[in-house]
Structure 1
Amino acid sequence: MSAPRLEEITPANFAKAIAVAVLPEQEFAVAPVVKSLAEAYVHPGVAWPRLIVDGERAVGFLMAFIDVDWREDGGSLRRSGLWRLNIAAGEQGKGYGRFAVRAVAEELRRRGTEEFYVTWHTGEHGPEEFYLGLGFRKNGEVVGEEGEEEVVGVLGLG
């Protein structure tokens, strides 16, 4: 790994972005980049999508969520965090995921956020160990529909 960087998604790198694909056994845990970009389009101002680039290679994709209303019951609970993290199958284990999480943490700190949220699917080939190893802790919440539940993790940014 040289010096990875984040790039905004543009017409010039769109094809590279949608070509990022995780390992087949990880597909249950994260949506394809093209779906994330569609969600970013319909959630402007909330979604923060970025391509992870090393040299000229697209090695991953991330999408943060910024100041969303977490509750669906009409109450208000504002949170920010990591919505999606896709590291290309051939690029895993090289530190790009850690770089991506640090980059999102820096962006959230810059915006004055004190807590960094993430959700993940549990089970074999899921990212739980990765997130826990970075200091996220389970907060006891589970989100999603039956059969598609995800654990909620939080990391203090103070």
Structure 2
Amino acid sequence: MPTLRLEALNATNIVAANSLTLKPGQEAYATPVSLAEAERTLNQAASWPRVVLEGKEVVGFIKGNLDPDEPREEFRCCVWSINVKASAQGHGVGRFAIHGLADEARKRGFTRLTVIWERGEEGPEEFFLHLGFEPIGETQFGEVIGAMALA
């Protein structure tokens, strides 16, 4: 079984990253409203987009924001988006991606990683809770703000 690895998003892998097919019903949870609203104000230099490769195949994508100067605490060190190919879900791809972002955040001196998700039957709440994120609040749109210590 090929091992997983992270690679910076680039011209070679961006089409595959944009073509990841989620399980039916998951598309509605891909980008919470709060993230879509805030994206235009983020410092793009602080963006950390990576694809997850299994062998040569793109099986996942994660984008983090790592900006200590971001005025909104929940966006300073956060999982901006994560998508895992439907056929690769349940095989550790998402966990691998989150751990990769967490490792990079630790290297940059962050002590907490946040994520925002919408509740729902097909939503990602169980995944984030299983990884150790704990709800710490809600956005103005009613989405969950979760946090995980990086100690």
TM tier, shorter chain? 0.7 to 0.9
Q: Deviations over 1:88-137 (max 9, x none)?
A: 11111111011011111100000000011011111101111111111111
Q: Counterparts of 1:61-80 in structure 2 under 5 Å?
A: 61-67=61-67, 68-70=70-72, 79-80=76-77
Q: Does 1:54 align with 2:42?
A: no
Return the offset for 1:152.
Answer: 0.4
Higher relative contact order (CA 8 A, sep 6+): 2
In structure 2, the residue matched to 1:7 is 7
Q: State TM-score, norm by structure 1.
A: 0.82
Return the offset for 1:21.
Answer: 2.2
| Counterpart Cα distance in 2 of 1:55 and 1:118 | 28
Seq. identity, %: 36
In structure 2, the residue matched to 1:74 is none
In structure 2, the residue matched to 1:151 is 144
Return the offset for 1:78.
Answer: 6.7
Is the contact between residue 65 and residue 75 of structure 2 (CA under 8 Å) also seen in structure 1?
no
| Counterpart Cα distance in 2 of 1:47 and 1:21 | 23
Q: Classify the secondary structure of the residue corresponding to 2:106.
A: helix
Q: State TM-score, norm by structure 2.
A: 0.85
Tell me which of 115, 119, 132 is aligned to 2:116: 119
RMSD over equivalenced CA pairs, Å? 2.1
Residue identity opposite 2:4 in structure 1: P
Is the contact between residue 75 and residue 114 of structure 2 (CA under 8 Å) also seen in structure 1?
no
Q: Deviations over 1:13-36 (max 9, x none)?
A: 1211111121121011114xxxx9
Structure 2: give runs of 5+ residues left out of the alignment.
none
